[in-house]
Chains A and B, each alone.
Chain A
Amino acid sequence: MTYLTPGDPKRRIRKIQAFVVIVAIIFGIRLVDLQIVEADAINAKSYANRAVSRVLPSLRGQIVDNEGKVLARTDFKYDINAAPDIVAPFSRKVNGQEILVSKEQAAGEIAVLTGQTPADVLMKISGTGKYSQVAKAVDASIYRQIKKLDIPWLFYDPRPARTYPSGAVAGGILGFLDPDGLPLEGIELAQNACLAGKDGEETFEKGVDGIKIPSSAITTKAAVPGKKIVLTINADLQYFAQQVLTANVAKLQADWGTAVVIEVKTGKILAAADAPSYDPNEPGKSSVENRGSRVFRTSFEPGSTMKMVTAATAIDQGKVTPETHFIAPFAMTIPHSNGYRVSDSHVHGNDKLTVAGVLRDSSNTGAMQIGNLVPWQVRRSYMEKFGVGSMPGSGFPGESAGLLNTKTTWANDVIKRYVSTFGQGVSVTPLQSAMMYQAVANKGIRLQPKLIEGCVDASGNMTKVTKDKAPVRVVTEATAKSTLDILEKVVEEGGIGKHAAVPGYRVGGKTGTAQITDPNTGRYGNLHAISFIGVAPIEDPQYVVAVTAYKSRTVSNSLGATPIFKAIMSQVLRTYRVAPSTTKSADIKTQW
Chain B
Amino acid sequence: MSTARLTQAPRSARQLPARSSLRSINLSGLTNSPSSRVVVLTITLGAVAIAIFQLLLHIATSSSVYELSHLQTEKRELSTTTQILGQQVDSLASQQNLANAAQKLGMISNANPVFLRLEDQKVFGKPKAALTADGRVSRNLVPNSAMTLSSVIVAPETTPATELAAAGSAPQAAAFVPVKGNVANGSTAIGSVVSNSGGIPASPTH
Q: Using a CB–CB distance below 8 Å, which chain A residues touch chain B?
A: 1-10, 13, 17, 69-70, 73, 75-76, 139-141, 143-144, 163-169, 214-215, 217, 235-236, 239, 242-244, 246-247, 277-279, 281-282, 503-505, 563, 567, 570, 574, 579-580, 582
Contact = CB atoms under 8 A, between A and B. Distances in A.
Contacts of B55: none
A246 B113 contact: no
Contact of B144 (A141, A167, A574, A579): A167
A242 B115 contact: no
Contacts of A9: 6-7, 9, 23, 25
A5 B69 CA distance: 66
Contacts of B10: 2
Contact of B87 (A7, A75, A214, A281): A75
A421 to B, nearest CB: 34
A390 to B, nearest CB: 32
Contacts of B183: 167
Contact of B141 (A7, A141, A247, A282): A247
B135 interface: yes
B193 to A, nearest CB: 12
A503 B83 contact: no
Given A2-B12, A166-B94, A242-B141, A7 B115 contact: no
A172 to B, nearest CB: 11
A580 B117 contact: yes
Given A9-B6, A139-B87, A140-B83, 14 more contacts: A2-B12, A2-B27, A4-B22, A4-B25, A9-B9, A76-B80, A143-B80, A166-B94, A166-B146, A167-B146, A169-B144, A503-B114, A504-B124, A570-B113
Interface centre among B90, B113, B114, B142 (most CB of A within 10 A): B142
B145 to A, nearest CB: 5
Given A1-B28, A144-B80, A503 B146 contact: no
A573 to B, nearest CB: 8
Contacts of A246: 137, 141-142
Contacts of B95: 166, 169, 235-236, 239
Given A167-B94, A236-B95, A504-B125, A580 B115 contact: yes
B23 A279 contact: no
Interface residues of B, number: 55
B19 interface: yes
A215 B28 contact: no
A539 B24 CA distance: 129
Interface on chain A toward B: helix, strand, loop, or mixed SS? mixed
Interface centre among A7, A13, A141, A168 (most CB of B within 10 A): A168
A4 B115 contact: no
Contacts of B99: 239
A1 B27 contact: yes
A279 B144 contact: yes
25 contacts: A1-B28, A2-B24, A2-B25, A4-B13, A4-B19, A4-B23, A6-B22, A13-B6, A163-B87, A165-B94, A165-B147, A166-B144, A167-B94, A167-B145, A169-B95, A239-B96, A239-B142, A278-B143, A279-B184, A281-B146, A503-B115, A503-B125, A503-B126, A574-B113, A580-B115
B36 interface: no
Interface in B66-80: 66, 68-69, 72, 80
A73 B140 CA distance: 23
Nearest to A279: B143
A165 B115 contact: no
B93 interface: yes
Nearest to B115: A504
Contacts, number: 155
Given A3-B24, A3-B27, A503-B114, A165 B91 contact: yes
B201 to A, nearest CB: 17
Contacts of A504: 114-115, 117, 124-125
Contacts of B9: 2, 9
A503 B87 CA distance: 41
B132 interface: no
A2 B146 contact: no
Interface string B1-41: 00100110110110010010111111110000000000000
A279 B147 CA distance: 11
A244 B135 CA distance: 9
Contacts of A236: 95
A113 to B, nearest CB: 14
Interface string B80-119: 1001101100110111100100000000000101110101
A73 B91 CA distance: 12
Nearest 9 A/B pairs, CB to CB: A167-B144, A504-B124, A503-B125, A165-B90, A239-B95, A215-B69, A504-B115, A246-B141, A4-B22
A253 to B, nearest CB: 15
Contacts of A166: 90, 94-96, 144, 146
A235 B124 CA distance: 28
Given A167-B142, A169-B95, A2 B13 contact: yes
A168 B111 contact: no
Nearest to B116: A580
A13 B142 contact: no
A165 B25 CA distance: 97
B65 interface: yes
Contacts of B72: 217
Nearest to B144: A167
A7 B84 CA distance: 89
Interface centre among B9, B72, B183 (most CB of A within 10 A): B9
B93 to A, nearest CB: 7
A17 B137 CA distance: 104
A282 B145 contact: yes
A420 to B, nearest CB: 35
A171 to B, nearest CB: 8
Contacts of A163: 87, 90, 146
Nearest to A166: B94
B135 A70 contact: no
A217 B65 CA distance: 11
Contact of A140 (B7, B65, B87, B147): B87
B65 A5 contact: no
A164 B143 CA distance: 11
Contacts of B111: 567
A472 to B, nearest CB: 35
Contacts of A3: 24-27
A30 B9 CA distance: 38
B3 A13 contact: yes
Interface string B126-156: 1000000001010011111111000000000
Contacts of B140: 243
Contacts of A243: 137, 140-142
